[in-house]
Structure 1
Amino acid sequence: MSKSFLALVLLESPATPDMVALAEAIRARHPELPVEVEGGREEGARQGSPLIRCGNELVAVMSMPAPVPEDPGLWSRASTIWPQAKAVAARHRGHLIVSVLGKNQQLLPTARLTTAVIGALIATMPQCCAVVWNGKVARPADLWLDMSSRSFAPYPGYPVSLWIDILPFRSETGIGAVTMGLSEFSEREIQFETHKLPLATLINKVDGLAVYLVEHGPVVKNGDTFGGSAHERFTVRYRNSDQFGGLPVFFCIDHAA
């Protein structure tokens, strides 16, 4: 499976990144990653080049002197855990487009690398105020700055919550949670419903399954069980969600329900 991700870094005012400073910040934050400004030696690098080489990959960082397109649903979802989201979106005036180039990108390594570059951008550009990941998930810049330092951490320590939302909802059985953004890694979202589990436990179960699917891809088959122990295991069913407009989901319900 191959794919690239598109990330938008929102800016309070339009600005063009200093690619040499960006390379230095990536090296400082991720010493294990070879980095160079594309176009030759950094002393003579063209200031206008939008490309930086990280390991064997080219990453494009393009400056856009305009706000991102309006998406009320995105910012409403973000506001559930980030109350200032809509205000930040309303006042930004420019953005950066960040993407790994190439046709044969592997999902998780591409997400890790893109995240590392975005963290370094935020570290070098005080104008950064938010990040929109692949059109699905919006997070504040300070959270990205912190969590992106773990871009290359071993499983399960990398920052999946920057890439995937877990949104609670009311269901016929009680409460539920649905993911947004997981399908980019595993072809489906998760919809988990319960009438017995507390919300924190429910979110923890969804998060555990989501991280597993990000790491391994769509390996959970229709009818498989998942969980930390025999007592905690639940069944995963393939379904098109009745509650979320036919969204393809891994539908889960705890056995107690």
Structure 2
Amino acid sequence: MPDMIALAEAVHRRHQKLATKMDVGQGSAGGAVLRCGDQLIAVMSMPASIPQDPGLWSRATTTWPDAGTVAAQHRGHLIVSVIGRNQPLLSKARLMTAVIGGLIATVPECRAVVWDTKVARPASLWLHRSRQSFAPFPDYPFPLWVDVLPFRSQKGIGAVTMGLTAFVDREIQFETSRLTLDALLEKVEGLVVYLIEHGRVLKDGDTFGGDAKERIDVRYKNSDQFNGMPVFLCTDGSP
């Protein structure tokens, strides 16, 4: 187990508006509890590697080339969770992100973070980006929670998310024949953070756009390209 007092001090040092103190609570399975304001966060040490998921680490290598090597070398992990139900998903994500950042600051052996079994990030990136855990919209660290992955499509190019389901029960699959790759990724990232902030506001059949000339159609579908997962299928019309 990490030093929970040191963890509380690290979280408070990194996020001074967040009151933290060590709460009594050593679990039977070797867990401990940290109180952050009116929330309780459980930390449990597991002396074994996480179950192998080649897809997880393959996705991670698109931005982190050493992901596979780190995954193969690790021998233990810490499970972090917020205790209680019916909590706002964004508030829960912010708090867990901050606590995980504090763990990395106090446990130098931490090499990576796996978020919600879907997204893997290097510990150094998490340590840096988690300082923005409580930043206002749109500056909180949503890239720690959601992957945005490019692909080729029949229309031209596309991008699909992984991890957004935790917030709005669907991923985004955006296909375009008009946008450059950089513009596409920027648009999908903007839509990700908007949905995290406002919830499932896109309805089946909606049309939206950044200006009067841009029209993007939205359909609820089970993806034909990504194992039938539920998506907001977004398309920007013919060229």
Give me the TM-score of the superposition, normalised by structure 2. 0.95
Give deviations 1:105-135, integer Å, cap 9, x for gaps. 2100000000000001111111010000000
Amino acid paired to 2:71: A
Corresponding letter in the other structure for 2:80: V
Partner of 1:74: 56
Q: Determine the structure 2 residue equivalent to 1:161.
A: 143
Is 1:129 equivalent to 2:129 in the alignment?
A: no
> Is residue 99 of structure 2 the alignment partner of residue 114 of structure 1?
no
Q: Measure, in 1, the Cα distance between the counterparts of 2:52 and 2:213.
A: 45
Q: Does residue 189 of the first structure (1) align with residue 199 of the second (2)?
A: no
Contact kept, 8 Å, 2:42 with 2:81, in 1: the verdict is yes
Per-residue deviation, 1:233: 3.7
Correspondence for 2:182? 200
Residue aligning to 2:2: 17
Opposite residue 101 of structure 2, the aligned amino acid is G
- Residues 199-218 of structure 1 aligned to structure 2 (within 5 Å): 199-218=181-200
How big is the shift at 1:253?
Answer: 1.1
Secondary structure in 2 matching 1:238? strand
Q: Any unmatched runs of 5+ in structure 2?
A: none
1:105 pairs with 2:90? no
**Distance in structure 2 (CA, Å) of the matches to 1:152 and 1:225:** 31
Q: Which secondary structure state, in structure 2, belongs to the residue aligned with residue 157 of structure 1?
A: coil
Q: Which residue of 2 aligns with 1:35?
A: 20
User: 2:3 is matched by which residue type in structure 1?
Assistant: D
Superposed counterparts of 1:53-92, under 5 Å:
53-92=35-74
Alignment match, 2:122: 140
| Equivalent residue in structure 2 for 1:173, among 141, 147, 155 | 155
Runs (4+) of structure 1 exceeding 4 A deviation are none
Of residues 226-235 and 93-102 in structure 1, the stretch that sits farther from structure 2 once superposed is 226-235
- Greater RCO, 1 or 2 (C-alpha within 8 Å, sep 6+): 1
Structure 1 position 181, deviation (Å): 0.7
Report the equivalent of 2:131: 149
1:228 to 210, 229, 239: 210
* Aligned-partner residue type, residue 148 of structure 2: I
Secondary structure of the equivalent of 1:128? coil
CA distance in 2 between partners of 1:187 and 1:108 (Å): 14
In 2, distance between residues paired with 1:49 and 1:132?
A: 19
Tell me by how many angstroms 1:228 deviates. 2.3
Q: Encode CA deviations 1:91-115: one digit per residue, 9 max, x unaligned.
A: 1111100000112221000000000
Q: Which runs of 5+ in 1 are unaligned?
A: 1-15, 41-47
Give the equivalent residue in structure 1 for 2:223: 241
Give the superposed CA RMSD.
1.3
Distance 1:221 1:38 in 2: 43
Deviation at 1:49, TM superposition (A): 5.8
Tell me the distance in 1 between the aligned counterparts of 2:107 and 2:155.
47
> In the comparison of the two structures, how many residue pairs are matched?
235
Shift of 1:256: 4.2
Take 2:9 and 2:69, find their aligned partners in 1: how far apart are those partners?
32
| Residue aligned with 1:119, SS | helix
Percent identity of equivalent pairs: 65
Q: CA deviation at 1:180?
A: 0.5
Whether contact under 8 Å (1:38, 1:49) holds in the other structure is: no
